Structure 1
Amino acid sequence: MGKSSTRSSTNDQTSYEAKGNFMPINLGCDPQHQKTLSDLFSAATATHEIRDTSLDNSYLWPEEEKILKSASQKRRWDFVTGRKCAHVAMATLGIDPAPVLIGDRNEPVWPDGLVGSITHTSNYAAAAIAHKSKILSLGLDAEPNEPLPHKVLSRISDTEEFNWVQNTKGKEIAHPGKLLFSAKEATYKAWNSVTKEWLGFRDAHVSFHLENQTFTVSINKASSIKTLSGTFGIAQDLILTAIEIPVS
């Protein structure tokens, strides 16, 4: 892909990893089932993650930097780290990094021929990217591994999901409510990228399969997409959920 501005991308990924801020985060409900971010997707998807509070907008393309003119400090960190992850993931796919702009709902607008998803929370950010010829859509979400407020759980869950959270809490998973919330966020990202339609929390029913750290989503509204499959990983301070919709 062509560049509208001059930037050097040679060995870009290596130079940033040398800072020590790109170490893979181990994810797993127990030590016997450890995963990393890349394990949540197929080989067709490139991923990158970062924990770095020192990044600034000097890492952005000029087109991206314009978006941050009036942004808060938190918004700047989210945007810069998310785009940096996206740029490195593009390089992993063998593509020259290019600007990732925003759409009408602040969603990422990917360069032609690519699909992707960006997430950020606290001091963590990550991106997943794939060729549109291989993957129809991606959904990636990160959340702090902490309790979900009861009021929020009641709002986002149906009866079956609510009961699952109550029965699982503190046993197999410390904070299943937050896992449910994250899975629904990843679902919305993957869904909206294809349909461009709104999907409410209760329009998606999530069933978890803890033995292999996967989940299934049933869409409860008229759509060409009725079922989605996802994976998840849990670190000490982080929950990650991922959905990949392959090209049929």
Structure 2
Amino acid sequence: MKRLLIFFTWLWLLVPIIAESQQVRVLSEGLEFKGDLGSIQRKTVILQNETNQVKTYLLKNLRGNIGSSQRVRVCIGDQCYDPKKDLAKIKFTLEPGEVLTDLYLDFDMGIAETRGSFDLSFVNESNLRDLFVVEASYEVDDPIKVDEFDYKDLVLSDVYPNPSVRMAQFDYNFKNKAVKAKITINSFIGNPIADYELDPERSTLAINVSDFNPGIYFYTLFLDNKNIVTKKLVVKK
């Protein structure tokens, strides 16, 4: 009986910790950096404050395996920081219910072909039990490899993660900012679902697929209204 009482006491004490860990949701799942030697990629970290309170978070630490020639930077808007040196400067505030899209990770692929993973832990400045983790992986390739998505006017990544549960992302880079580019999404039987213009001033398109029915979809890249390529996107729940 005494052991049972101790167990329920510990369970009761853990309830606030478990609840608080759910207060901010990372909507951008498993960031993946894939590219050639010497290139730099930027990924958007999408966060949502699911509470009715204003919350301010600081970067607590960077953990994982980053190659000696690779480098990661945390950017808030136009200001970027080295997480190994500028922990105290990496700070942002989330309003109640806010979805934050101005937090980025810049990853320098370096000069050595390699792969690895790392994560960033953020903590509430007024409550150390309120924290969340952003996970990322990287793969640096030989630049001789041909990228089938490297077109005359635009470089476009595959959609990721694929399959996707909440958010699906594309990374892109305009070679010709005068071209009009868009991504359209159609159902498995060809019914139009949505279309998205690619902004030349940004490098990531994030799509909320949480309202999509589970199944197979197809996305198509159009450049100046010309169909360039069609690929498959899988949505799961």
Same fold (TM over 0.5): no
Q: TM-score normalised to the size of structure 2?
A: 0.29
Greater fraction strand? 2
